[in-house]
Amino acid sequence: MNRLFWWRRWFLGRGGVALLAALAASSFASTLHAQTSCDTGTSALDPTPPKGTTPAEIVQKFAAKETIFKQARESYSYTLDVTVQTVLDSKIVDGEFRRVWDITHDGRGKRQETTTFSPHSTLTRVNMTQEDFDDLRNHPAFQLTSDELPQYDVLYAGQQHIDEIDAYVFNVAPKHLGKGRRYFQGQVWVDARDFLIVKTCG
């Protein structure tokens, strides 16, 4: 199975995170070559260097925002909407799993999950394991925080327009692989105005 892409956004207020919203989309292809395109909704990649800043500065800024996002996610309530699909020839969806959770915390800060939508799964070509469910619920999107940054090579790839957002694109790969650890390898799209990761693909 190959997780392809994730689109997400959140809003930062003066006092930190004013609203946290998570939307997950994860697609699994029949082979590694028949994948949903990561470039859906994007313009052609422009390799021109950023103006008024450097790739290194952009990386430091979005890593700092990712740190804030990670801390907020551990205490804020939000809705998690997950869709897993199998795709034929990068076009035809022939199976789908979807589940929606409301994530809240009790008075002691303990995380609570309530399933609000769970239609019958039509997946037939892949099996969802307990590990998959745990990943979807607890690790819904790759977060490249300041403390995790030294573990990765982050290389500037260019600029793209993604939906209504101008974004910087970076190629990300782990420097070393440790046993029992999970890593990300792929691309991230960073909002050129707010320096937030808005899409990952890998």
Give the per-residue pLDDT at 120. 94
Give the per-residue pLDDT at 29. 30
The three-state (H, E, C) secondary structure of 32-92, written as one string: CCCCCCCCCCECCCECCCCCCCCHHHHHHHHHHHHHHHHHHHCCCCEEEEEEEEEEECCCE
Three-state DSSP at 12 gives strand
Q: 27 φ, ψ to 5°? A: -115, 140
Q: 22 φ, ψ to 5°? A: -125, 130
- Contact yes or no for 48/161 (Cβ under 8 A): no
Three-state DSSP at 6 gives strand
Give the per-residue pLDDT at 41. 66
Distance between CA atoms of residues 27 and 17, nearest Å: 29
Give the per-residue pLDDT at 140. 57
Q: Nearest-CA neighbor of 8 among 167, 182, 175?
A: 167
pLDDT digits (tens, 9 = 90+) for 29-64: 322 333 346 776 678 999 999 999 999 999 999 999
Which amino acid makes up residue 179?
Answer: K
Give the per-residue pLDDT at 139. 63
Q: Which residue ranges of the chain lie beneath pLDDT 70? A: 1-37, 40-41, 138-141
Give the per-residue pLDDT at 200. 86
Distance between CA atoms of residues 99 and 83, nearest Å: 7
Distance between CA atoms of residues 194 and 178, nearest Å: 32
Give the per-residue pLDDT at 45. 92
Distance between CA atoms of residues 60 and 56, nearest Å: 6
Sign of the C-alpha dihedral, residues 68, 176, 47, 49?
positive
Give the per-residue pLDDT at 12. 35
- Mean residue pLDDT of the chain comes to 78
